[in-house]
Amino acid sequence: MSQATAIIVGASSLVSREIAKQLAEQGVELALLAQDTESLKEFSQSLPTQVSLHELAIERPKDIIATLESIWQQLGGAHLVIVNTGLNGYDASLPWQLEQDIITVNVQGYSAICNTAFRLFVDQGYGQLAAINSIAGLRGGPSVAYHASKAYASSYLEGLSMHAQRLKLPITISDLQLGLLDKAAMQQSRLWLSPPHEVARQALKAMQKGKRRAYITKRWRLVAWLTKLLPEFIYNTRHWRTKEERKAARAAKKAQ
Ligand SMILES: NC(=O)c1ccc[n+]([C@@H]2O[C@H](COP(=O)([O-])OP(=O)(O)OC[C@H]3O[C@@H](n4cnc5c(N)ncnc54)[C@H](OP(=O)(O)O)[C@@H]3O)[C@@H](O)[C@H]2O)c1
């Protein structure tokens, strides 16, 4: 296969579009998967490379497998598969439906995509699977299923990487752990919010270097390190009291 090819699963997100743009500028042929392919039509036509659009039905694993296999046939294989799907949500009353939806997309759908891409790479003999994950997976958190799903996603990739080594195949598995993303892309001066084009640039650089794991953007490495290190009574900010609460507690103590 002489033409470089990449498949982007979850292509409608801002970061995926930025990655698609930057890959297209390098002449990489693209297959983009999204729930609503119609919404990507104009964007795909603006890219300076060959692009095909495919429907992504993430809640139906059999359809994901069939779609990826059919794209593989059409492209004659692929060098790179990027997985950038994800669902997040928070409701303090923890309704089951939200938890189930997150598990369906971030665990079931994600596994079907990564498993299929890996098996296709094994048949091909080489390739790179890169998934955009989150440092949220390093610890539990208020969006319970989301944090847990991101821990699962990371562990799943580590397992695939071990399989590639066992098979002695040059299949690179990259776990790209995002910090916070500036979706509005208008707050670039904010220290911790990274604009999508910079996230995409750093993600592609990490992929090109064949990194097993990278924190995107780089400054989130420090947060990740601290997150892993902190004891639960500090990490769990719900224990912390506000200035007013501390003042009220002191006043109550004095009054006793
Ligand atoms: N945003 C952040 O600050 C942040 C921080 C850390 C990590 N991340 C990670 O980055 C990745 C992308 O997140 P994002 O924030 O960029 O989210 P996003 O813009 O909502 O993108 C998520 C992608 O997943 C797709 N998706 C979600 N539910 C789907 C479903 N039921 N069927 C098919 N596709 C579905 C979306 O497609 P549709 O648009 O068609 O729904 C979209 O392409 C996730 O793995 C997330 O954990 C994000």
The residue contributing the CA closest to ligand 1 atom 26 is: 85
Question: Ligand 1 in contact with 132 (CB < 6 A)?
Answer: yes
CB within 8 Å of 155: residues ≥ 6 apart? none
47 or 255, which is more confident = 47
In a domain, 254, yes or no: no
Q: How far apart are CA 55 and CA 68, in angstroms?
A: 10
Torsion sign across C-alpha atoms 35, 159, 220, 211: negative
Which helix or strand (DSSP H or E) is residue 37 part of?
A: none
Atom of ligand 1 at shortest distance to CA of 15?
Answer: 16
What does the mean pLDDT of the chain come to? 92
**pLDDT tens digits, one per residue of 200-215:** 999 999 999 999 999 9
Q: How many domains does the chain have?
A: 1
The residue contributing the CA closest to ligand 1 atom 44 is: 86
**pLDDT tens digits, one per residue of 21-39:** 999 999 999 999 999 999 9
In a domain, 73, yes or no: yes
In a domain, 252, yes or no: no
State the pLDDT at residue 161.
98
In a domain, 106, yes or no: yes
3-class secondary structure, 33: strand
Q: Residue 189: pLDDT above 50?
A: no
State the pLDDT at residue 187.
47
State the pLDDT at residue 181.
63
Q: Residue 186: pLDDT above 50?
A: no
Weakest mean pLDDT among 67-71, 87-91, 141-145, 217-221: 217-221
Q: Residue 138: pLDDT above 90?
A: yes
Q: How far apart are CA 75 and CA 193, in angstroms?
A: 36
Q: How far apart are CA 143 and CA 90, in angstroms?
A: 5
Measured in Å, residue 179 CA sits from the centre of ligand 1 at 14
Residues paired with 185 in a beta bridge:
none
Q: Which residue has the tokens 């930025």?
A: 18
Q: How far apart are CA 31 and CA 53, in angstroms?
A: 6
Q: Residue 168: pLDDT above 90?
A: yes
Question: Ligand 1 in contact with 196 (CB < 6 A)?
Answer: no
For residue 34, give its domain range: 5-230
Please report which confidence band the pLDDT of residue 191 belongs to, taking 50, 70 and 90 as the band edges: low
Q: What is the mean pLDDT of residues 98-120?
A: 98
Count CB-CB contacts under 10 A for residue 189: 7
Burial class (CB in 10 A: 0-12, 13-18, 19+), 252: exposed
In a domain, 87, yes or no: yes
Instruction: Indicate which CATH number applies to the domain containing 142.
Output: 3.40.50.720
In a domain, 251, yes or no: no
Question: Ligand 1 in contact with 106 (CB < 6 A)?
Answer: no
In a domain, 245, yes or no: no
Which helix or strand (DSSP H or E) is residue 148 part of?
A: helix 144-166
State the pLDDT at residue 193.
73
Question: Ligand 1 in contact with 87 (CB < 6 A)?
Answer: yes
Atom of ligand 1 at shortest distance to CA of 153?
Answer: 45
Question: Ligand 1 in contact with 86 (CB < 6 A)?
Answer: yes
